[in-house]
Amino acid sequence: MGALFGRERREIAPGAVHLPDWLDPDAQRELVAACRAWARPPAGLRTVRTPGGGQMTARQFGLGWHWSPRGYARTAVDGDGAPVKPMPTELAELAARAAQAATGAPVAAAYDIALVNFYDADARMGMHQDRDEEADAPVVSLSLGDACVFRFGNPHTRTKPYTDVELHSGDLFVFGGPARLAFHGVPRIRPGTGPAELGLTGRLNVTLRVSGL
């Protein structure tokens, strides 16, 4: 069903921009196929255990660097222990183009981290900051498959004020500058809303970052 109103580029907070439909259907298909290949072992998709003894509902893998609650590593320290797969050049270039499209300026450093999150219908992600990187380059986030509610807050508290944004397949969200350390999370997935031609049950999020490491 089409939307009543077109979805337009919107600044959600200073430094945080939502660009709907940034990836065309072919690019989405290619990225989903690539994610499927990267998600295979070694250092593939895993369930992340949290320090309190729980586990994240979104499953994850990394390229370039492996993220875990202990920080970044070059091996899947809380998975199978294998070396992380390299950051593909095309993905680093895509991240640079995305950041420039959102901010209007080139990012000096190279994007060297991709974290890929997979959400099934019941998965979500609590409010958190992305603060394990040592560089302040904007975070680039691409959505594929089912839509979700993405909650974008402020750098001071995981509670209000925040804005809920619907991210659809192909959408780009970039946050940098004064928004770089804003709390954000995914309270809800909208099951069954992804484009049928992607053949994806669930949602993939590819978040691209500069490590500064």
In angstroms, the CA 23 to CA 169 distance is 8
Q: How far is the CB of 186 from ligand AKG (least distance, A)?
A: 5
* Token digits of residue 102: 């959102």
Does position 130 bind ligand AKG by CB under 6 A?
A: yes
Tokens 């959600």 correspond to 12
Among 168, 207, 210, 211, the residue binding ligand AKG under the rule CB under 6 A is 207
Query: From the list 35, 95, 114, 141, which residue makes contact with ligand AKG (rule: CB under 6 A)?
Result: 141
According to DSSP, the residues that pair with 163 across neighbouring strands are 152
Q: Does 211 participate in binding ligand AKG (rule CB under 6 A)?
A: no
> C-alpha 177: how far from its chain's center?
18
Instruction: State the Cα–Cα distance between residues 77 and 73, nearest whole angstrom.
Output: 7
Among 17, 92, 96, 186, binds ligand AKG (CB under 6 A): 186
Residue from the set 61, 111, 150, 152 that interacts with ligand AKG by CB under 6 A: 150
Other Cβ atoms less than 10 A from the Cβ of 56: the count is 17
Question: Does residue 28 bind ligand AKG (CB under 6 A)?
Answer: no
Peptide bond into 106 cis (omega under 30): no
Q: Does position 210 bind ligand AKG by CB under 6 A?
A: no
- Does the protein bind ligand AKG through residue 63 (CB under 6 A)? no
Torsion sign over Cα 135, 19, 129, 116: negative
Nearer to ligand AKG (CB atom), residue 169 or residue 205 = 205
**CA–CA separation, 22 and 36 (whole Å):** 21
Q: How far is the CB of 184 from ligand AKG (least distance, A)?
A: 5
Among 17, 94, 115, 198, binds ligand AKG (CB under 6 A): 115
The total number of residues written for the chain in this structure: 213
Question: Is 117 among the residues that bind ligand AKG (CB under 6 A)?
Answer: yes
* Biggest CA-to-CA distance, the chain: 49
| Min separation Cβ 122 and ligand AKG, Å | 14
Instruction: Please select the residue that binds ligand AKG; options are 28, 154, 169, 205, rule is CB under 6 A.
Output: 205
- Would you count residue 68 as binding ligand AKG (CB under 6 A)? no
**Omega cis (within 30) before 161:** yes
Residue 171 interacting with ligand AKG (CB under 6 A):
no
Euclidean distance between CA atoms 110 and 112, whole angstroms: 6
Would you tell me which residues interact with ligand AKG (CB under 6 A)? 115, 117, 125, 130, 141, 150, 184, 186, 205, 207
